[in-house]
């Protein structure tokens, strides 16, 4: 009986610890959401903190939306995110496939060089990227915003590992049927690594949607501003009225939360060998 109670006690303790950690990490987000719905008469810095507003209102969202062209900023962020995700998936998949399935001289060296770029901070390459973007005429353009996110070393690594997990029999069967190398990549390999592609898409979307530093550098025309820049301007325009800043922040992070909730069920391993008979 004592041995039976010990695992139960250990399990309950583990769940309590996990719940405590979750509350600690979720508290800033819950405070932000609660603050965005608070009226001007409520104290947002009370102690102990009150997350739920006593008089909920959407006036903060109306003020932000009517004072700033948040519709345009939302559209800019959506365009940049969609282009960044699409091009990142395309170029990462094209680069990862030969590194995983083909054999050529210098293959391991090239892959090692790509991985080494992960250790390089963005601040080091920021100035060369800016000079290149200016010389290419990409300032104040959507392409200029997504320029550093066209391809990522992490994406190449993730998709390479996924490509290596695809059974060789699928590739050989496609070649016997007369499928070209590009056809194998498109019709066989990409469907087989769909979970990895969705995972990379989520990471690329979050990185693009929340990017602040590069758009701040490459943009000086407000009509191209993305949501992070818009939220930063809110803090200065409204003299740090945290209710309005919180409302703008909620508008900014809502698409990320919705995307994750919708796609999380697809980020699961799939049986890529289902087309191979034993």
pLDDT for residue 3 is more than 60: no
What pTM was estimated for this model as a whole? 0.83
CB within 8 A of 261, min separation 6: which ones?
Answer: none
Same domain, 9 and 124: no
Q: What is the CATH number of the domain that holds 131?
A: 1.10.3720.10
Q: What is the rounded average pLDDT for all residues in the chain? A: 86
Same domain, 128 and 237: yes
Same domain, 258 and 130: yes
**For 11-33, how does the pLDDT look when each residue is reduced to its tens digit (9 = 90+)?**
888 888 888 898 888 888 888 88
Alpha helices in the chain (DSSP H): 2-36, 59-67, 70-101, 107-116, 122-135, 142-146, 153-164, 168-176, 181-183, 190-192, 194-209, 213-218, 227-237, 242-263
| Across 197-208, average pLDDT | 91
Q: Phi first, then psi: give them for residue 241, nearest 5 degrees.
A: -80, 100
The distance of Cα 165 from the centroid of its chain, to the nearest Å, equals 24
| Across 103-121, average pLDDT | 92
Same domain, 110 and 229: yes
Residue with tokens 């309005």: 244
What's the pLDDT at 273?
Answer: 46
Cα(105)–Cα(103) distance, rounded to whole angstroms? 7
At 269, the pLDDT band (50, 70, 90 cuts) reads low
| Pick from 109, 117, 94: nearest CA to 186 | 94
What's the pLDDT at 5?
Answer: 56
Tell me how many degrees the CA angle 215-221-223 measures, rounded to the nearest 5: 95
Same domain, 213 and 229: yes
Looking at mean pLDDT, say which of 97-101, 232-236, 254-258 comes out highest: 97-101
| Across 140-153, average pLDDT | 92
Looking at mean pLDDT, say which of 34-43, 46-55, 85-94 comes out highest: 85-94
The parent domain of residue 175 ranges over: 63-275
| Across 170-197, average pLDDT | 90
């Amino acid at each position: 009986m004592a041995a039976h109670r010990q695992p139960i006690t250990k399990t309950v303790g583990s769940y309590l610890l996990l719940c405590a950690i979750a509350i600690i990490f979720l508290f800033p987000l819950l405070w932000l959401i609660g603050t965005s719905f608070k009226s001007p008469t409520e104290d947002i810095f009370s102690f102990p903190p009150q997350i739920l507003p006593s008089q909920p209102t959407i006036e903060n969202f109306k003020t932000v939306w009517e004072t700033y062209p948040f519709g345009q900023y939302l559209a800019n962020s959506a365009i940049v995110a969609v282009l960044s995700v699409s091009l990142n998936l395309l170029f990462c998949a094209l680069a990862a496939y030969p590194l995983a399935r083909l054999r050529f001289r210098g293959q391991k060296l090239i892959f090692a060089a790509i991985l080494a770029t992960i250790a390089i901070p963005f601040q080091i390459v920021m100035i060369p990227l800016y000079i290149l973007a200016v010389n290419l005429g990409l300032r104040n353009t959507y392409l200029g915003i997504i320029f550093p996110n066209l391809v990522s070393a992490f994406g190449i690594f993730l998709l390479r590992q996924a490509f290596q997990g695809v059974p060789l029999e699928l590739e050989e069967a496609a070649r016997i049927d007369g499928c070209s190398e590009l056809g194998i990549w498109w019709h066989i390999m990409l469907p087989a690594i769909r979970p990895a592609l969705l995972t990379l898409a989520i990471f690329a979307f979050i990185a693009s949607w929340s990017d602040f530093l590069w758009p701040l550098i490459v943009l000086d025309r407000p009509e191209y501003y993305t949501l992070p820049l818009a939220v930063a301007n809110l803090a200065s325009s409204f003299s740090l009225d945290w209710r309005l800043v919180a409302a703008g922040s909620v508008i900014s992070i809502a698409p990320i939360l919705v995307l994750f909730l919708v796609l999380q069920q697809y980020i699961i391993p799939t049986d890529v060998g289902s087309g191979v008979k034993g």
